[in-house]
Amino acid sequence: MAITITHVFELTDDGVLNPKEFRHLVNECPGVQLPGVRNVIVYRHTCKQFVIADVNLENYAAMDSWRGWWNDTPEGNKWGQ
């Protein structure tokens, strides 16, 4: 069973939202190399100012690994900002 986690990124305090740069950063993100990560799809809403990243995972174990990396490691925290 596949699982999708969605991250929504909105404008920063200084009004910056660069979808091209965001897509480039996603390709460099070490989290996409975790076991069980199938792919990451990045798209932006055309009417509103936000970018969405869907992380497609293989199973619940992969989801736990993703959450652990994203929330509990300094590297994951850095990428989450």
**Mean pLDDT across the stretch 24-39?**
83
pTM over 0.85: no
State the residue for tokens 């809403």: 45
Say how many residues make up the chain: 81
The mean pLDDT of the chain is 80
Q: For residues 22 and 20, give the distance between their C-alpha atoms in angstroms, rounded to a whole number.
A: 5
Residue ranges of domains in the chain, CATH in brackets: 3-80 (3.30.70.100)
Other C-beta atoms lying within 10 Å of the C-beta of residue 37: 20
Task: Encode pLDDT of 55-69 as tens digits.
Answer: 899 999 999 998 888
The per-residue pLDDT for 51 is 78
Evaluated on CA atoms 23, 45, 39, 34, the torsion sign reads positive
Task: Encode pLDDT of 33-47 as tens digits.
Answer: 889 999 888 877 777
